[in-house]
């Protein structure tokens, strides 16, 4: 059963929830997060498997876990470099890809069910886009200009590139 365990809570007693049958997924852009690094030894002692998603496989975290998913250096969107924007988006996409790879590997859904799910998801997207279109006020678009369209195009292109890269790198699909 999956559960979330904050590193600070783990260091103050909640590590008792982890067993040798567990897989721990650690997320750290730098791979130098002190709270996570202090957990690796006790996790190894328990016998839990460890996976890290990080930007630096040679970081202390990357060197001490069983498996590293290294996404490489990224530039954060925050102009001050303080808010983790790009790195958290990359980690989210990698986590989603990892979850789908596990589902596919386990054969959780028969092929016929997957076809039904794909068809239903296509129809639901069309319905959602139709709902957006019904709520759109064309007069307000004249005052805003094309900025929302450019922003949407940029976001969609970014997600498409990330998705394609992950599918290619992980051999999914």
pLDDT in tens, 10-62: 888 899 999 999 999 999 999 999 999 999 999 999 999 999 999 999 999 99
Candidates 41, 99, 43; CA nearest to 69 is 99
In angstroms, rounded to a whole number, what is the distance separating the alpha carbons of residues 112 and 95?
Answer: 25
Q: Contact, 47 vs 22, CB < 8 A?
A: no
77-130 per-position pLDDT tens digit: 888 878 898 899 999 999 888 888 888 788 777 778 778 888 888 888 777 777
pLDDT tens figures, 28-38:
999 999 999 99
Contact present, 34 and 26 (Cβ < 8 Å): no
Q: Which position has the token pair 């092929």? A: 111
Q: What is the pLDDT of residue 40?
A: 94
Residue 57 is classified by DSSP as: T
Could you count the other beta carbons within 10 Å of the beta carbon of residue 154? 10
Q: Which spans in the chain are helix H?
A: 7-11, 34-46, 60-64, 86-106, 111-135, 138-144, 147-170
Q: How many CB atoms lie within 10 A of CB 170?
A: 14
Mean per-residue pLDDT over the chain, rounded = 86
Burial 11-46 (b: 16+ CB within 10 A, else e): eeeebeebeeebebbbbbbebebeebbebbeebeee
Asked if residues 88 and 62 have their Cβ atoms less than 8 Å apart, the reply is: no
């Amino acid at each position: 059963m999956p559960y979330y365990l904050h590193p600070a809570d783990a260091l103050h007693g909640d590590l008792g929830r982890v067993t040798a049958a567990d897989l721990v997924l650690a997320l750290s852009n730098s791979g130098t997060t002190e709270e996570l690094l202090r957990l690796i030894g006790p996790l190894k002692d328990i016998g839990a498997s460890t996976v890290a998603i990080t930007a630096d496989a040679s970081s202390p975290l990357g060197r001490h876990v069983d498996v590293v998913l290294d996404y490489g250096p990224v530039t954060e969107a925050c102009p001050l470099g303080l808010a983790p924007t790009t790195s958290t988006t990359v980690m989210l996409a990698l986590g989603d890809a990892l979850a789908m790879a596990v589902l596919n590997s386990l054969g959780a859904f028969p092929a016929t069910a997957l076809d039904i799910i794909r068809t239903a998801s296509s129809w639901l997207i069309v319905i959602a886009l139709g709902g957006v279109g019904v709520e759109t006020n064309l007069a307000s678009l004249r005052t805003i200009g094309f900025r929302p369209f450019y922003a949407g195009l940029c976001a969609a292109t970014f997600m498409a590139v990330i998705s394609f890269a992950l599918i290619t790198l992980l051999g999914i699909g």
